[in-house]
Structure 1
Amino acid sequence: MLVANRLDRAITSHWHGLHVPGWQDGGPQTLIAPGSRLDQTLEIEQPAGTYWYHSHPHGETGEQVYLGLAGMLLIEDAGSSHTELLPVEYGVDDIPLIVQDRAFTRRGELAYDDDGMALMQGFRGDKVVINGAISPKKHVPPGIVRLRLLNASNSRVYRFQFDDGYEFHKIAGDAGLLPAPVRMDVVELAPAERVEILVDFSDGRTRQLVSPDVPVSMMGGGMMGNGSMGRMMGQGASSDPDQMLLILTLEVDQAKKASKIALPTLFSQAPSPDFGEPVRRRKFQLNMMMGMGMMGAMLGGKADLGINGKTYDMGRIDETIRLGETEIWEISADMMAHPFHVHGTSFQVLSQNGRRVDYASTGLKDVVWVDGSAEILVRFNHPAGPDAPYMYHCHILEHEDAGMMGQFTVS
């Protein structure tokens, strides 16, 4: 991988979801200065799937990703039997979809704000763009089509569905294939999550992929949950769950030839969880406000967000982890829900709010939606030293930039 920085500010190149050593991970400690280049050889030892990359400098990740420093990264395995079962013609029946929301000035320029309300709930634009285009149309063949969806928005959650309620099959999550396709009519993606779905267009009908305007997920009752503050934070005034956002129009072109006309039933080479017995538990609490009042932040002040009562400090190692040991991490969130991302590995989600999560419906993950609490089973097979540690953080990028992040070594 060659990354050249032609900007006037430092960037990084974080390979989101890749299992690489800390010094190659592209976290805040490994800046690429203006005018510099980074040339890396990445050794890929993980399942085929849909991954991505983005800039990750502390305090500027939200703005840099929003302005364009992000993209999709596909890992393929030509020797795997699943390539015989799935659509694989890039851009024809295997279609990457990078989903982001954007706000524009009257001149058509990108507008970004990370203060006040944007800090508290994360920045949310009023236009959805797909691969950089607003409300695009895609012509597809009359057969099985594979859509790879990446939520690359700074904070928005999507519940993808078709306008006519048409069913589809989920075949992969963040880190590779599921054991078998799962039928559904709605799939939810928090920021940084990915999903692959198969859609059968053999009936020739045009369909629109849509999502409701999902409100910010606040927790608790009274003022924060359902009262005036809850509405200000996105449960009423700033989001309308009855409004459908148009994501993409898919129109069948009978002149295109479908390479697959039948749905697969089983993926024999899909990854399976093989972590071994956990040797310890760790607890992480995502803290919304520290050291100042909420109203002050909403009125334009700065807030310190944190994890386990500490805001992020580049000079502090928060956790020390043993190479190759399996752990259970318990993550809890106060005030609102958060997507929690762990660098350098993939994990299995064991439970959410005390309810067991079925691996067959999620597969391996690197982001977990924490709306209350979650447990994950995790192991690290690559080292990360104190000069280039791994990160764990909320993937609402404005929360990450405000300090809802920690760092850890693996040795």
Structure 2
Amino acid sequence: MYRGLAGMFLLDDPEARASGLPKDYGVDDFPLIVQDKVINADGTLSEERLDEGRFFLGDTALVNGTRNPTLEVGTTRVRLRLLNASNARLFHIGFADGRTFHVVGGDVGLLPAPVPVTRVSLSPAERAEVVVAFSPGESVVLRGFGGVDEIDRGDFDLLTLTAARELAPSPALPDRLPSTPPIEVPADARVRRFALDGTDEINGLDFAMDRVDEVVPAGAREIWEVTASHYAHNFHIHEVAFRVLDIDGRQPPAWYQSHKDTVYLPAKSTARLAVEFGRFTDPTSPYMYHCHILRHEDKGMMGQFVIVEPGTESTVPRTLPTAAAHAHAASASASASDG
């Protein structure tokens, strides 16, 4: 993945396409895959520090594999689909002139309504869809702003956007968007707790290919409490959508309340997630949850769960058959690029 293997699926339905959001790929709708790298003086990619320390952080930002890219804007509004595909870095993304733009979607779908912001913070695997307005002839830099933590230090110019002298008019930004209802959990919802310890364990365990860590009934809605014990992490769950209820007891900002599958956890913080599981059942084909900081995941900060028929949870073996465990190895080894 560090060598550039990162891509994006763009999923739209007829309602979303009719919503009035910019939707013409390459005209007013652009995917932006952001990664940080270390580039040697001769222009080659350095891999010397990949296995050092708790996080790998590069000193150069690439967007869609390009250094210092530019984009000519031809419409009054543009939709940018942002994906942080870095190994570890957290980007606080906004514009150099501090302009307001609108978040319209997150990891797993659209928000109920556009949310005005000046920054969005994305850890590895997190996504956000934003709409920004332009005036004829102006030029502005999309920037990854730094913070005060180890994982987000330093500013990066990501992309220079230059508007043409004559812009085609875009539809007005809609007041409401065709979103999925928020995930609600019952009063007696099961609570599962996960402690991300150091850089390689969840609940005191390294990943084991043949171990089932959690058994979940199909269609369940649960609360997962996830704690970053010592260092920053970001928690990603396969198969599901979830809603971030709170982080350290505080409700997240409105733009962070869409359906998600990845949540950023500052060091020594706890997030509560309302998690909705699917209805396909298979007691021998597990899904994974893990930290999406790639060094942590590679060191074993992963677990896995199976989804089973409700009422059969206690009968499911916690050890996978040998053949199933071996078959699962291929998907587990590639999990870093699932975001």
- Which of 105, 121, 131 aligns to 1:172? It is 105
Contact 1:384 1:390 in 2 (8 A): no
- Which of 42, 45, 48 aligns to 1:110? It is 45
Amino acid paired to 2:160: T
Q: What is the alpha-carbon root mean square deviation over aligned residues?
A: 2.0
Map residues 259-408 of structure 1 onto 2, 5 A cutoff. 260-267=170-177, 269-277=178-186, 279-288=189-198, 305-357=200-252, 361-371=256-266, 372-383=269-280, 385=282, 387-408=284-305
Amino acid paired to 1:310: L
Map residues 72-221 of structure 1 onto 2, 5 A cutoff. 72-77=8-13, 79-80=14-15, 83-112=18-47, 113-117=49-53, 120-121=54-55, 123-202=56-135, 204-215=137-148, 217=149
Q: TM-score, normalised by structure 2?
A: 0.84
User: What is aligned with 2:317?
Assistant: none
Q: Deviations over 1:210-267 (max 9, x none)?
A: 122345x4xxxxxxxxxxxxxxxx38xxx7x5x5310000000135524x14222111
Q: How many residues align?
A: 304
Is the alpha carbon distance of 1:213 and 1:81 closer, same or farther for their aligned partners in structure 2, counting shifts above 3 Å? closer
Is the alpha carbon distance of 1:81 and 1:405 closer, same or farther for their aligned partners in structure 2, counting shifts above 3 Å? closer
More strand by share: 2
Among all aligned residue pairs of Structure 1 and Structure 2, give the percentage whose two residues are the same amino acid. Answer: 42
Contact 1:210 1:248 in 2 (8 A): yes
The Cα shift of 1:343 comes to 0.3
Contact 1:156 1:214 in 2 (8 A): no
SS in 1 for 2:303: strand
Segments of 5+ residues of structure 1 without an aligned counterpart are: 1-64, 218-233, 290-304
The Cα shift of 1:272 comes to 1.3
Amino acid paired to 2:226: I
The Cα shift of 1:386 comes to 5.2
The Cα shift of 1:134 comes to 0.5
The whole-number CA distance in structure 2 between the counterparts of 1:116 and 1:84 is 46
The whole-number CA distance in structure 1 between the counterparts of 2:40 and 2:252 is 43
Q: TM-score, normalised by structure 1?
A: 0.70
